[in-house]
Amino acid sequence: MSEVLHQWIGPLSAYGIKIIRVILIIIGLMLAGKVGSRAINGLMRPGRIPGVWDERRIKTMRGLIKSLLRYVLYFVGAIMILSELNVNTSSMLAGAGIIGLAVGFGAQNLVRDVVTGFFILFEDQFAVGDYVTIAGVTGTVEDMGLRVTKIREATGGLQIISNGTISQVANMSRGGMNVLVEVKVAREQDLDRVTAVIEAAARKVADEHREIVLEEPQVLGISGFEGAGVSLQISAKVKPMQQWAFGRQLRRAIIDALDAAGIAIA
């Protein structure tokens, strides 16, 4: 009986030790991930990297490095766990070239996503916090990894886009943004007087928001006419992400000024 118990207890204790080692490996990798993440946050923070590395680009780079660290830990953990389970990892790694060749055809999209992600970063096409239009999706870049970019839409939806599908980017957070406002007035109105009233109202709004205005509002002239109405176009340039609020205030000020001057809007 004792010999039978010994035959059972021996293998069970060996398996128990292996399970404990696997658990310790997983815990160690989790701790390594947390420590590495904190170290990345400490090293990659605004102010520590001078020059062209602004806060948004640092956040983007920080996300990419964390993503790379996570993949490395996954790979190392898988190799260590397989070794504990007596799987010959050396032969697996030796055959990685053949396996990689076979898998490579099916992983072309993955490689393309990663390569495109690096080019987006180093060419500074966009960064975390930028307001962009990518693959027909418009919103704020919330996160950028090695494979995907996450965009938060104005409605709150989170769109996840593969980097490899990004062929064109419209970035609304770089440089001055144009504000175009059209006002349609009755054709019988004195257009010179209308222009003077609009310019006065536009200047007042610009003076109240001098900190965001890059180019003064100006009436460009007649942009079209239809029926009994004539459309006038007003243009201005403001700092990024301010164009919508400034446009709304400009329209309100123009309407109030035209009403006060007795000018009918078509």
Helices 191-208 and 243-260, interaxial angle, to 10°?
130
If residue 142 lies in a helix (H) or strand (E), which one and from where to where?
A: strand 137-144
Per the listing, tokens 């078509």 go with 266
Mean pLDDT by 10 residues, the chain (266 residues): 50 69 85 84 65 64 77 82 73 54 56 77 82 90 84 90 88 86 87 90 91 90 82 91 90 91 83
Residue 117, both tokens: 């992600």
The class that CATH gives domain 108-171 is mainly beta
For residue 249, what pLDDT is reported? 93
263 with 189: CB under 8 angstroms? yes
pTM of the model: 0.56
For residue 96, what pLDDT is reported? 53
Q: Tell me the domain boundaries of the chain.
A: 2-104, 108-171, 177-260
Q: Phi/psi at 186 (nearest 5 deg)?
A: -65, 145
Q: What SS3 string covers 25-65?
A: HHHHHHHHHHHHHHHHHHHCCCCCCCCCCCHHHHHHHHHHH
Residues 177-260, CATH architecture: 2-Layer Sandwich (3.30)
Please say whether the structural domain 2-104 has been given the CATH code 1.10.3470. no
Question: What is the rounded CA–CA span in Å between residue 72 and residue 107?
Answer: 18
For residue 246, what pLDDT is reported? 92
Q: Phi/psi at 184 (nearest 5 deg)?
A: -110, 120
